[in-house]
Structure 1
Amino acid sequence: MRIGLKVVFAFGTLLASLLVVVFISLVITSDLQKKSHAIMHDDFPQMKAAWTIKDQASTIAKSLRNYVLTRSNEVREEEMSRINAALEGAASTLAELDASTTDPAALLLLADVKQDGAAYVAYANRVLQLAREGKEDEATTQLIDVGRDLQSGMFDKLDKMIALTTYSMEQASRDTDAMYDDQMGGYLLFVILFLIIGTVVSVLFSRSVSRKLIQVSSVMDRFASQGDDLSLRLSIASGDEIGMVARSFNTMADNLRASREQEREWLRQTEESAWHHKNLSHIQQIIQSSDSSEELARRFMQEIAPMLGVVCAVFYVAAEEEGDSVRFLLAGTYAVPDEEKTKLKAAYTAGDGPIGEVIGSGRRMTIGSVDARHIRFSTSLSLLPQSQVIIEPLRNDTKVEAVLELVVQEPFSPVQERLLEQAGLLAALTLNKLNSQLRIARLLKEAQLQAEELLQYSEELHVQQEELAQINAELEEQTASLQQSESQLLMNQQELEEANAELESRAKQLIAASAYKSEFLANMSHELRTPLNSMLILTKLLTENREGNMSGKQIEYAQTVYSSSNDLLALINQILDLARVESGKMQVTIDLIETRELEEFVKRNFAAVAQQKGLEFTVVIAADVPDVFHGDLLRLRQMIHNLLSNAFKFTERGKIVLSIQCVDHEDGGRALKIAVSDTGIGIPVEKLDIIFNAFAQADGTTSRKYGGTGLGLSICRELAHLLGGEIAVASTEHVGSVFTLLLPIDRWGEKAEPADQPDHVVPERAEPQYVLEESPDQWQYSFAGQTVLIVDDDIRNVFALSSRLESYGIHVLYADNGEKGIAMLTKHTNINLVLMDVMMPGMDGYEATRRIRTMARFDDIPVIMVSAKAMQEDRDHGLLVGASDYLTKPIDVNKLLALLKIWLNKDSR
């Protein structure tokens, strides 16, 4: 055979061998690519879609919580946008998953997921509807009780689908490896056979071709024997058939390696996600079963520290407000040695060191990779060499609820950071819930106490409220009639006279309504003074401790109640004084006033107060002030007392001066100028115009330092106007104040009436000042054998008076209305005196007293009328119907005993 033919045959044989090898390689590569394509385009998209649905469900759950917990409309709109986007994304992903799934088992799980998804969407809409209706508690219950179960059930089915897909991918990978091993065995045998032929040809024709084939064979042998090492590649870059085989082999190896790497990455993500959800679920169960912030802190750190590789940790919880800032108190520690616990700071506020910065900013702070001895600022925990301190804020959408300080040796991985962030959110929400429960419990207790206090007054005020409601309805009808009359007046001028008459009638009705207001104030006075009467008498009796069976602390309690009751009585008197002045019923009594007596009154009432507070108190009376002048002593004392009381209340250090002098009045006469100056807190300029308004104060906030009703200065202004004078104030904040009272004295000296109050100067019946000089035993001797009849429908008042009177040896009888009182008086001939209440059901005290005076047997029996109504006209009415004397509630026991001594002593009458 000629050499040419041999060459042709050799090269033809070599060419045929190469073509067969290439064909087999392409077949193997095609099969592997099909398997890889099945994994990449079937199994992997299903797993990815399942993870996507889980992430979107988690987004919906988080946004639902944020929507329910926040009250901000702006935040709610943002969360609603996230919910809608997640719902749309989940629906789209679910549709794609439905279209790409062919496995029967996966289709069954997918049907369950679609059913759970529909239930979850219905649940989400229900929670949103409850939140929009303001039913946050019901929405929170749905989040905790329903949402968790629905989400858990749906996640279980998605996890099963992921597991099924993972299993399918693993099975496909194993099938690929098995196919590869099987095909590669035959392939290698075939390749070896043709390599032998090729070797003979290559020896004959080309050593270079031989080297290439040897290289291909070597790499393929190693690839076949080391199936797990996918890094082997052929480095032949020629354009011949051997180069094509090399490139095909390299492509096959690259595809296998990419498939293996994707598989490992999917497995790693699956394991991390399972670890994250398992630990987060466990932490959620732990913290939600905690009953207090301390227990939550302890259990939270015990659980999360091992998961994150924490060396030691401390936990600070938001507790109470301190001014405008919130204090974070130490609630628990983890792995901190006992000798180091005493060094921990007990509390932090915003801006206080690194922890305070985290409190203020709400963002995580990491301090690390430095030696502890080089730290020039302090945290709660010292740093270990080459360690990190992580300060994590536990916050909900609105505020930081707690701060967790952790010491770690290694930085957190992304899954650990995600676990810390989401577990911190759960802890913050639970802390917020615990704090809310505590606040609700406290408020409920306060509300219960207030309800108990108000309950005793509600029944007594019910009748007055119904009367006022009826009056209000009548006034509304009258107002409507006025409006109708005005319209008719505009439409028809001829009805002017009739409209005017209607308006005059309505004006009279409005005047009557004002009278109803005064009557209401009088009734209110009665309703408030009646229980106060019992409280004052009984607590006074308790403070005396006559049986000697009370401890010092109990006596102190009784004295406190007695003092508080007197303060309440003073407040009622102030309100009534203001009502008298405003309604034009305040009466003045013009008499001679001794300047010396006025000075003694001031020193007697305020010298001890000045000494107790360590203040300098001076009374300066100018030489031109007359020794005696005309005026209303009672009203003058009241105004000076109010001004000095304010000065002492608002002055902590320095001095208070009362100065009295005579000045020229603008009408040409003389006036008394009384000035009260202090070195107190002063009054801001913007508040000077309102301090004389009723119930107004310079500091009207709920956190004000100084108490009071704001009536004292208003009463002073009205009384000054009533007496024809005026009151003014000059003040500098933080320096002091000067209140100046200017009262004309020449006109009063001439017995003239105030120009603007001509009807108010009416002599007022002066009440006698009763001074007890006898000891309790002498009182008992004075009253021994006496019998007093109490006519009163209030059993509390009867009990209080009976207890007091019986302690002095007086025998007490009782009747609960006027008719029974008269019957009791007729039946018992030994009654020496009657205490007659005014307001009683059936026959009231006025009518009963009038009837008693018509009976000859009782025309001279002492009848002391007792009433909670403190108006002068009420007293005058009582004396007019035949009362011997008149006492107002709450009863001053000393005054009552003095009256009893007067009226039970025949010689004195």
Structure 2
Amino acid sequence: MFRNIKFNIRTKIAIGYFLIICCLGVAIVVVTDRISALQDEVETITSRDIDIHNFIASIQYDAISMESGQRGYILTGDEAYLSPYNKGKSQWEANFNSLYAYLANDPSTQRDLEEIKLTIVNWIDTAAEPTITMKKQNRTNDIVAFFQEDVGKTYIDQLRSQFESLRSKQIQATKLHIIALENRNQLLTIGIYIMLIIVTVIAFMIVAFVSGSIVRTIKQVAKTITEIASAGGDLTTRIKVNTRDEIKELGDATNRLLSTLESQNWIQTKVAEVATMNQGINDLSTLAQSFLSKVAPMVNASYGVFYLRKGTGSQQLLVKTASYASYGDEKGVASFRMGEGLIGQCALEKRVFLLNQPENHSAVITSGLGTIEPQSILIVPIEFEEKVEAVIEFASIEPFTAQHLKLLEEIEKDFGIAVNNVAGRMEVERLLSESQVLTEELQAQTEELQTQSEELQMQQEEMKMTTEHLEEQNLFAEQKTKELEKAKRELEIYSEKLKQSSQYKTNFLANMSHELRTPLNSILILSQLLSENEHAHLSEDEAGYASVIHTSGQDLLKLIDDILDLSKIEAGKVILTVDEVNLTEIPELMKPVFDPIAAQKGLAFTVHAESELPNLWHTDGQRLQQILNNLLSNAFKFTESGSVELKLALADPRKAGQLRKRQGDDAWLAISVTDTGIGIPADKQQLIFEAFQQVDGETNRQYGGTGLGLSICNEFAKLLGGSIQLESAPGEGSTFTLYLPNLNRDAVETIVSASQEAAAAIDYVPPHEQYEEPLEEDFNRMETEKGETSIFSGKRILLVEDDARNVYALSSALEQHNIEVTVAGNGKRCMDILEKDKGFDLVLMDIMMPLMDGFETMREIRKQPILQELPIIALTAKAMKSDREKCLEAGASDYISKPIQMEQLFSLMRVWLTKQVGK
């Protein structure tokens, strides 16, 4: 029942999160209920114990206040000392009654309180009141006699002892309550952990199921694309996706693109075969026969005739020059005039004639078993400089397809040149033959001049005329030679066009980059928003799951970037920027990245730099870091125990000379990565530097990876003028050594001149001329400003995007910053919105859209004077070098590629919104 239901990726993720939230909700309800009960109990016990301690302290304070007031009054006679005495006397009994009521369930403590009450009453009756009365009556001698015995001190000491005993007893009771609470709290904690484990297991199962259903299909598509992008480039491969979601749509679109590329590749291949067939032929009959023999099988023709144009003006004829699969007395007509029959009409109108199922046609297809009438006839003109040179007629027992017509159309464009060139060469040969004959005649005439002196003047005149004629013939021959050179250049141009077919793979990978980056964009943005958990709506585990999804998306993006890097290297489109690299910073860059990996695997990781090593080295720092990251990653991946070492040193001069095959004192840098891993057999040490190859290349290999890292490293090393060398043996570890020259301006020119076939461009950037992005200063300034929310709050953004997934992801991220987002599904809709409302602060413009793409839309926006200063940030999923220039030329203020890093997007938005505020 569920097989026919289409579950897209968003639905799958939503169902998974819903189930996880349900499980988490049940756990939260149970834990919350138990915590609430425990909290009530804690509050009850805590409040009661605090009140009891407060009452005890109040009674003790009242008793001390009475004693202090009584003694102060007796000593000084000042009535003011009786105030604390009277106040304590009036309050202690009320506090005592309240405490007594609190301890209604504790008879033992009540008995202690009654003893305290008796002691206080006895002290008041026997010591306090009598002495105060004596003082009021000025009976000093009685007071002195009373204090000689000092009965009151005995009661006060007893009272202090009783209070201390009561306080100790209550403290012990509180401790017992706390121990009981701790036991119950421990039981609650254990219960929470058990419930957390259960919820985690259930959530992991749900996430594994949902992510597995998504990742499996993505890996399947990526694997097929990788196979297509491999050295073979088999365009007949098709992607098979069993799911019913966006990935199936991507697979179907890819298959349609592959079918188109396969058809175009077949046509280009056949055109190239015909072009190479024409080389070395100097006879039109041979050329016509070779053309029919080559092209007829390509278009599934069973019969063919080649008519060549001869004569000039009204005497032009189309003469039968060659035929294919003819037999006996041929039915084909020997010649046609212009406009005569379909052959002549084809030459006159310069258009193709296609006859399907012709009736009563004279041509028949002959085989060993009999004859067959053709089911389809195709007549094609061959032109050169808008002039028909020949007409070809094919007959087939099957209908001709659109692909056959397209093939003949492509062949016809260049075959006319070949016909004209062969005819020109034949004419030159004819003229050369005539010139030779004239030369022989001249020699004979010279001999006659020597024997016949009386005819010398006449012979001289004849020789002069002959010489002039020869000069004319030589000029004509030179003209024909120039025409031949022109034809040669045209053939070279045609050969260059054939090389463009190698770009199909690059274009295919660029398009696939766009198709894969579009869904990846929304996955990365939404997973990043979830992992950041800005509003704390998710638990740490849920935010962790979102982080795992974000990391997986980044890994997939890295795989796409690796494939594109390899394609750019093959196509010669890699840009290297040579600047000063601080070699002392390399250990500081590598240690923080790989120390955690070494600690996790229990490996020793050391970085050693020789003291003779210079601080600065001229090379491409980004490519150097990429090479080192790949080499160290491989070393840790294939090392289970032992150590990994990174060593930086100057290469031996003789070794440097061997690498460059020249002698010199130029310094070379040698960076080696040594591990104690599995090692590499000698027969595979060259194989691993090829794309998609690993030491354990079997289907059940132990180590993961695509096999692109070493291939890209090797190509980058070559572009930097160096190389990577390997020393390894199975079970003894490996040492990869990167040798790099110091690329000053002269070194860059040497590398380019020595390796012209590597079409990569290298830019030398001196330290004092290094370009610094102006946006960097604005970005740093904006990061230090306060009130970031006020920059975005209330701003109006027009989002022009046709992909609903990206619309949802970007809108969600923008609206979290209080930004008002308006969405336009294409360029035409964008223009309609701007026509009615021009109050937007910024436009986010996608490039590839239906009806009106991003380039055309930005040009239309910039045509309106009121919108000239409106900031436009272009969003594109293509990763080609020229995209930024195209966007800026079309009117974009800035550019960002997909998948979009939200921090980078917000940084660009801060810059342009701040500039708008400044204006």
TM-score range relative to shorter protein: 0.3 to 0.5
